[in-house]
Amino acid sequence: MQDTLRFLFFFTLLFSSLPAPAQLLNDRASLKNVQNSLDKIYNYEFDEAQVFMDQVDKKYPNHPVSHILDSFVLFWKYLPIKDNPAKSKEYIHKLDLCLDAINKKYGKNSLDPEAVFYTMVARGYMAMMYNYKGEMMNAAGEGKKAYNAFVEGLKLINKNPEFYFTSGMYNYYVEVYPEEHSIVKPLMLFFKSGDKALGLKQIDNATKVGTITRAEANFYISHIYLKYESKPEKAVFYTDRLIDLYPKNPLFLMKNIESLLLSGKYEQAGKELMALKKVNHGFYPVAWRTFQGLMDEKHEKNDASAQREYLLALKTPHDDQYTKEYHAMAYAGLARISARAGNKGKARDYYKKCLGKAEYRSVIKEAKAFK
């Protein structure tokens, strides 16, 4: 659900780049300012992003895209925003302003292409926020409104390169999601069939030719290779690119270190881990403690030190979307250490706890294989 809603959210964002008769969408200079704003936001350069955003707002006062960019700043600046009630309220307010701007500009329930595009943007953001807050019925309702238009995007891949991302995500997730969640299989009968191999190729194309979707395409294809395909060495290619493009983004740094560690590139991971350890806020401490445990266990072959780090990681709060898997990895590490010490009973207990958290196929396979 987390993957699907986040995907829908970013899918709706790219609609702002579709060719259409609407004024801003045909204004290359303003679209470039929108794109520059996004690049600055991804790189945590929020003041610099505001310069480009102000240029858009000056030329197009109270345009829906301005409110969308405002909400995007809040999303990244206060990641995870769901943990900040005041900013969550402000975030929803920005989305409401976007919907109000659409109604004032085009009229309620307008079928004007730009009105539909920005309505989907706002609805997609709202779906993700409701999901974060555990309001699943509201999330499903908003997500469905965004999804209805998404299906049309499958027909537009040859008209706009941004659709490589959305089409690839659809082709991959429509097949993998029911594999992971058997309860939804009956519902998937109503969906167009996908193709995982084709989906991966399309997302890879988006990393090369996408503009608005470039960063998300790199992030998602690395996530797929880590979580579902169990090919961390392929994930490294994309996470390396992300930190080259956005060196100040700690989330991308975190995922790069994870990819490096799981692919056995310990020397490079160790260098980057030093930078991540300077990030002591939010959900990052649980990440770097788990990573240090993996370094100590796998690279330094120091089980005592690794055990200390894993136990500290488990005492450190995680975020269900971004760092839940690191608790699973810590439990798996403790299980391996216990097994090497000859305590199979304790190892089984740790693997059982691991399975209560794990979502990565490789981690689940390891836990289930222990006898």
pLDDT digit string, tens, across residues 135-150:
767 766 776 666 665 6
> Beta-carbon neighbour count of residue 264 at 10 Å?
11
pLDDT bin (cut points 50, 70, 90) of residue 14 is very low
Which runs of consecutive H residues, i.e. helices, occur in 107-249? 113-132, 136-153, 163-180, 196-209, 214-227, 232-245
pLDDT bin (cut points 50, 70, 90) of residue 127 is confident
Task: Quote the tokens at residue 144.
Answer: 């469905």
- The pLDDT score that the predictor gives to residue 195 is 93
CA end-to-end distance (rounded Å), the chain: 31
pLDDT bin (cut points 50, 70, 90) of residue 157 is low
Average pLDDT over residues 235-264: 97
Task: Quote the tokens at residue 333.
Answer: 């590490």
Q: What φ, ψ does residue 22 adopt, rounded to 5°?
A: -60, 145
Q: Which of 362, 318, 313 is nearest to 334 (CA)?
A: 313
- 174 versus 368: the higher-pLDDT residue is 368
- The pLDDT score that the predictor gives to residue 289 is 98
pLDDT digit string, tens, across residues 314-367:
999 999 889 999 999 999 999 999 999 999 999 999 999 999 999 999 999 999
Q: Which of 360, 323, 340, 327 is nearest to 370 (CA)?
A: 340
- 124 versus 259: the higher-pLDDT residue is 259
- 275 versus 194: the higher-pLDDT residue is 275
State yes or no: pLDDT of 298 exceeds 90. Answer: yes
**Which among 7-11, 35-39, 167-171 has the top mean pLDDT?**
35-39
- 143 versus 170: the higher-pLDDT residue is 170
CB 53 within 8 A of CB 37: yes
